[in-house]
Chains A and B, each alone.
Chain A
Amino acid sequence: MTSIADRIAGPPLAAEADAIARDAAPARSLPAISFPVGGERELRLDLFRGLALWLIFIDHLPPNLLTWFTIRNYGFSDATEIFIFISGYTAAFVYGRAMLESGFVIATARILRRVWQIYVAHVFLFTIFLAEISYVATSFENPLYTEEMGIMDFLKQPDVTIVQALLLRFRPVNMDVLPLYIVLMLFLPVILGLMRWKADIALALSVVLYALTWEYDWYLSAYPNGYWAFNPLAWQLLFVFGAWCALGGAKRMSRILASRITLGISFAYLFAAFLVTLTWYIPQLNHLMPRRLEQWMYPIDKTDLDVLRFAHFLALAAITVRFLPRDWPGLKSPWLKPLILCGQHSLEIFCLGVFLAFAGHFVLAEISGGAALHFVISISGILIMCAVAWIISWYKHSADKSASRTKSTAGNADLAGGG
C-alpha cells in the first residue's frame, strides 16, 4: 500500500511543485496577488481537509464512541469551518493562478465548470436521500413517532419537491454544505477579481456583508419554508478569508501569528470555549455558568456563523499553523497518507461520506447491533473513504496518465476541490 501510494503521489507532486515554483516567480512581481514562497503544494491543507471530511462523516452518523473525537465536542466551531476555509484557500490558490495566467474569462469558465460538477454531485446525493426517505416512509410504523413522520409529507408532492431540490431550495438535513459551496464558488470570480485589484478591500467588503447580514437578518429562503441552514451571506466570510490568506494574507500575517500574545489569546479562548462546551455534556456543571454570560452568548448560531464560532476557528488555525510547520516531516509519513488522499479528492469523498452516513443509518435501523456495530460502521466508513480516495488518485495518476499528461501542469480541480 505504502509503496504504491508513494509511487502515485511522489512524481506528480514534484512536477506540480516545480510548475508552481516557476509560476511563483512572475507572480511575486505583482503586488496584489502573490503565492506562498516555494509554492509547494500545501500538504497541511490536504491533511486538515481530509480530517474535516472524516469528522463530518462521523458527525452525520448517530452519536457513538467516535463522536467524542470530533472537535465540536470541545469548542464552538466544527469541521464545517475547517472545510469552508480550506476550500476558499485552495480555490483561490488554483483559480487565482489561472486568472493570472489566462485571464478573467478563462478562469471564470473553469470555475463555472467546477460549480457544475458540485451541482451534479448534489443532485446525485439528493437521489440517494429520496430513496432512503421513501424506504423509511413505507417501512416505519411506530405510534410513538406519528408526529415526526410528518416529514414524509413532501412525498405527496414529488413534482414540486424535486423541482425545488434542483433549484437548491429544498435541502434535506445533512445536505446543506454542497449548496453553500455552490453559491460560494459562483461568486469566486467576483471575489478573485476584487482580490486582484485590492485584496484588503475584498476582505473588508466581506466583513461588511457579514455584519449587514447580522444587522438586518438577511437570509436565503428554502422550500417549503424556513431558511438555508448555512447562510451563504454569513459563511462567505470564512471562504473569502481563506482566499485572502491564500493570496498573500497568510504571509503578511506571519508576524502576528508568530507572536506570543496571539498564542496566549488563542489558548485562553480555546480553553474558555472548552469549559463552556463541558457544561453542555455534563449538565451537572451547568449551575457554574454565570447567567449573564449565558444570556449574552446563547444561542451560538451555526446558520449565520456566529462570531464565537469564527473566533474559535481562528484560534484553532493560529495554533495549528504555529505548531505544525509546512515542512513537518510527518506530512510525508505513510500514516497520514490516507487523510491527505481524502483531502485531495474532497468533492468525491464528501459525497461518499454523506452517502455512507445514510447507509450507516440504514444498517443500524435494520440490525440493532448496539454500540459495537455502531463503532464498526464508523470505522468501515472511514476505511471505505480512504480506499476510494486511493482508487481515485490511482485513476488520476496511473490509469488516465497518458490522456492527462498534457494538461497535468494546469492547476487541477482536485486541488481546488471540496464540497
Chain B
Amino acid sequence: MNSGAILGLMLLAGLLTAAPARAEDAPARTGDAPAHAENAPQSCEVPDYLLATESALPKVADAAKSGHALDILVIGSRSSTLNTSEGIAWPGRLQAVLREKLPTIAVNVSVELRVKKTAEEAANGFIKLMEGKKPTLVVWQTGTVDAVRSVDPEDFRSAVDEGVAALQNAGADVILMNLQYSPRTETMISAPPYLDNMRVVAQQHDVPLFDRFAIMRQWNEQGDFDLFTAFHGIELAKRVHDCLGRALAKFIIDAAHLGPAQ
C-alpha cells in the first residue's frame, strides 16, 4: 500500500514536469516522442500513430478560425464519468486542457450521460438533443453496454451508423470513442466485434475514431498504469481520466489542425 502511494506521488510529479514540456513540443511532434518516453516513462505518453487520423473536423476548424465558441457535447455512458465531483472525469479534463491550449477560443464541454443504454437506445434521442444544444463537435462514447449485453454486432453497427448520421445531419462534427481496455473482465466481455464495427462506421462516415481501447492498452503495456490488479482507489481512475482528457484534447487539436503553427 505504501509503495503504491509513493508510486502515485512519483507519477504525479512525472505528470507535472512533463505537461508543460509536452505543450511546447506539440507542433513539432514527429521526432521528439521517443525522447519523452525515456524522460518520463510514467507520464502516459501516447504514441503518435494512436492519435493520427485521416478524417478531419471541418466545423471545429471553422469555429476556431472565425473566433466562435467551441461547444463540445460528450454523449457517453458510465465510463465517461467518475463517481466523485465534477471535472475529474475525462470530459472535464478535456475542457480544462483545451482552454489551456487554445486560450483564444471559448471552449465549453457539456456531458449528456446515457447510463446503461446501448448505442441504439442512446441514439434514439439524438435529434431532439441536437436541436436543443447545437454543439460544434459531438464526442460519442459508446460500445461498452452493447458488449456487456452482447448485442448482435450487426445491430450495433447499424445503430452507431444511424446515430452518427443523425449527429452529422444536425450540423456537428463527430468523434467516436470506443470501449475502455479492461483486462480484468477480458474473459467475460468480448470487446473485439464492437471495436471492429466502430472502426468500420468511423471509416464509412469519415469521422475520427478516438481509440480509447488501444490507448489504455498501450498504457497498461508500457507500465504507466497497472489496469489489471483487483483493488484500486479512486486515484488510479482519476489519473487515467486525466490522461484520457489530455490525449483527446491533442487528438481534437490535430484533427482540426488547430496547432499553434496554423
Contacts and interface: CB of A to CB of B under 8 A. Distances in A.
Interface in B11-45: none
A217 B154 CA distance: 10
B34 to A, nearest CB: 13
Contacts of A60: 187
B144 interface: yes
B150 A226 contact: yes
A133 B148 CA distance: 14
B255 interface: no
Most B CB contacts (10 A, CB to CB) among A141, A147, A217, A302 go to A147
A151 B189 contact: yes
Interface stretch (B131-139, B165-173, B198-206, B245-253): B198-206
A64 B232 CA distance: 23
Interface residues of B, number: 50
Interface string A142-162: 111111111100000000000
A124 B243 CA distance: 42
A291 B172 CA distance: 24
Interface in B128-182: 144-145, 148-154, 180, 182
Interface string A288-323: 000100110011001100000000000000000000
B185 interface: yes
Contact of B230 (A142, A151, A222): A142
A287 interface: yes
B187 A140 contact: no
A200 B241 CA distance: 59
Interface stretch (B56-64, B74-82, B95-103, B104-112): B74-82
A330 interface: no
B6 interface: no
Contact of A143 (B83, B153, B188, B199): B83
Given A141-B231, A361-B187, A298 B199 contact: yes
A329 interface: no
B190 interface: yes
Contacts of B199: 298-299
B230 A224 contact: no
Given A141-B231, A222-B150, A151 B185 contact: yes
A53 B183 CA distance: 23
A219 B155 CA distance: 13
A151 B188 contact: yes
B116 interface: yes
Contacts, number: 130
A142 B187 contact: no
B253 to A, nearest CB: 20
Given A147-B77, A368-B228, A284 B151 contact: no
B231 A150 contact: no
A147 B78 contact: yes
Given A142-B184, A147-B144, A294-B203, A365 B229 contact: yes
B196 A227 contact: no
Contacts of A227: 150, 152
A225 B150 contact: yes
Nearest to B157: A299
A295 to B, nearest CB: 7
Nearest to A144: B237
B190 A173 contact: yes
A133 B200 CA distance: 32
Contacts of B50: 283
Interface in B212-255: 214, 226-234, 236-237, 240-241
A150 B82 contact: no
Contacts of B228: 62, 364-365, 368
Nearest to A282: B49
Contact of B186 (A141, A361, A366): A361
Nearest to B221: A63
A144 B236 contact: yes
Contacts of B8: none
A229 B153 CA distance: 10
Contacts of B149: 150, 224-226
Given A139-B230, A144-B82, A226-B149, 8 more contacts: A142-B231, A143-B83, A146-B78, A173-B190, A283-B49, A298-B200, A357-B187, A358-B187
Instruction: List the 8 closest A-B pairs by CB distance, nearest first.
Output: A226-B150, A147-B78, A144-B237, A299-B196, A143-B237, A150-B148, A147-B79, A284-B49
Interface of B: 49-50, 52, 54, 77-79, 82-83, 116, 144-145, 148-154, 180, 182-190, 193, 196-197, 199-200, 203-204, 214, 226-234, 236-237, 240-241
23 contacts: A60-B187, A142-B230, A143-B83, A144-B82, A144-B237, A145-B180, A146-B78, A147-B78, A147-B79, A147-B148, A148-B184, A150-B116, A150-B145, A151-B189, A226-B152, A298-B199, A298-B200, A298-B203, A299-B199, A303-B193, A358-B187, A365-B229, A366-B230
